[in-house]
Amino acid sequence: MSLWRMIWTNLRRHRVRTGIGAAGIALGVATMLSVVGLLGGAVKMFERILRTDAEMVVFEKNASDLFFSNVPVSLADELEKTPFVKEARPVLFAIVSAPDRPIVTCFGIESGDGRLRKGQWLRGNPKNFKDDARAVVLGERAADFVDIGPDGEVELGHERYPVAGVVRLENGFENGGVFMPLAACQEAFHKSGACSVVTVALAKGHDSKEVKSWMASRHPQLTALENEEFSRSYSQFQILKTTAWVVGGCAFLLGGLSVTNTMILSVFGRIKELAIARVCGFSRAQIAGMIFGESLLVSAIGTMVGWGLSGLGLQLLKAIPQMQGYIEPRIGWMEIAGAMALAAITALAGAMYPAWYAAKLNPAQALRFE
């Protein structure tokens, strides 16, 4: 009988004990993949707010958050005059209060911005949204909780604005927000001549390095990053991703305790069996290898179950109407590989003491063990 076949037989003989150990790992894997997938998806959805068919984003270099970033609107015109930029659009992010709602996200954009063109207009049409007017466009969810008065106006902060239309957008953050003409948004939030970011679409045949070089020489207080670079460097995204892995790591600690407990019970529950194996010619290394093998197999079973549970849970969460558009659960191969590696390390660490104890057993004394 091969060692791995013996390991599998041992686990089958103790199904309850095996199930308890696998459940601990499954809980850790499911928690980690769910949290990482959930927060990673939320980050991806937020990234879409910045992209809008653009390859780069320009913002204030030392701003702690995009809401505090101040970029001159005139920069968009400067960039569009260069041969390497196809289009540059200023966007102003702000937060405003509404009746019964302490926070509503506000997007100050130009009428030519592609965000509204991509949406499904449920009321009004894009022509009603004008740069020189005060009329705002509500996302579908924003229209549900922001009361539109009989005069067709909505109260935002201390002002009332006419509603130009209601639009359904794929992105939940935008679908729950308010779109204002950039000039009106600047006036409302006292940011005359400024925006939060400028999204940049490159001209065909040109590279992002040209934009970066141009920005560094003319506007050193600002920074221009490609979308992928921004995602990696933006502090808020880093905090979310780090939090996800820390929570997942804590869950794995609990799973590791479960594996350790299971393997200790396994060793003490069959001391005579291990002694007989030693008498029959098994070396100490083979006994230790058997314990490590059992732990790894339990971990593998738990990993597969946890992977399935996390996928099912994320899909159910995505199906909740209130969450649609706000998250895009995604579990990539890097996350799966990380979970498998942590599960294997947890299994090996949890089996170290039981394997050491089993390997040092004296067969003669172990056979007298009661």
Indicate whether 198 and 283 sit together in one domain. Answer: no
Residue 71: pLDDT band by 50, 70, 90 thresholds? very high
Both tokens of 323, joined, read 């969450």
Judge whether 20 lies within some domain. Answer: yes
What's the domain count of the chain? 2
Indicate whether 213 and 251 sit together in one domain. Answer: no
- The residue-averaged pLDDT of 41-52 equals 68
Indicate whether 215 and 243 sit together in one domain. Answer: no
* Residue 326 neighbours by CB distance under 10 Å: 18
Indicate whether 145 and 284 sit together in one domain. Answer: no
Tell me the per-residue pLDDT of 1-23, one tens digit each, with 9 for 90 and over: 577 777 787 778 778 878 877 88
* Residue 159 neighbours by CB distance under 10 Å: 13
* pLDDT in the model for residue 329: 67
Judge whether 123 lies within some domain. Answer: yes
Judge whether 230 lies within some domain. Answer: no
* pLDDT in the model for residue 25: 83
Indicate whether 353 and 246 sit together in one domain. Answer: yes
- Domain boundary among the residues 220, 245, 262 is at 220
Both tokens of 99, joined, read 């009746």
Tell me the per-residue pLDDT of 253-305, one tens digit each, with 9 for 90 and over: 777 777 777 777 777 777 777 777 777 777 888 888 888 888 888 888 888 99
Indicate whether 159 and 203 sit together in one domain. Answer: yes
Indicate whether 69 and 151 sit together in one domain. Answer: yes
Contact at 8 Å (CB) between 108 and 186? yes
* pLDDT in the model for residue 107: 92
* pLDDT in the model for residue 325: 56
* Residue 74 neighbours by CB distance under 10 Å: 12
- Domain boundary among the residues 220, 249, 283 is at 220
Judge whether 98 lies within some domain. Answer: yes
Indicate whether 335 and 286 sit together in one domain. Answer: yes
Contact at 8 Å (CB) between 343 and 22? no
Indicate whether 17 and 135 sit together in one domain. Answer: no
Judge whether 331 lies within some domain. Answer: yes
- Domain boundary among the residues 156, 190, 220 is at 220
* pLDDT in the model for residue 14: 76
Indicate whether 93 and 193 sit together in one domain. Answer: yes
Indicate whether 195 and 251 sit together in one domain. Answer: no
Judge whether 57 lies within some domain. Answer: no
- The residue-averaged pLDDT of 222-238 equals 76
Lowest-pLDDT range of 129-138, 225-234, 359-368: 359-368
Domain that holds residue 305: 3-47+237-367
Judge whether 330 lies within some domain. Answer: yes
Tell me the per-residue pLDDT of 175-211, one tens digit each, with 9 for 90 and over: 888 999 999 999 999 899 999 999 999 998 888 899 9
Residue 326: pLDDT band by 50, 70, 90 thresholds? low
Indicate whether 76 and 159 sit together in one domain. Answer: yes
Judge whether 25 lies within some domain. Answer: yes
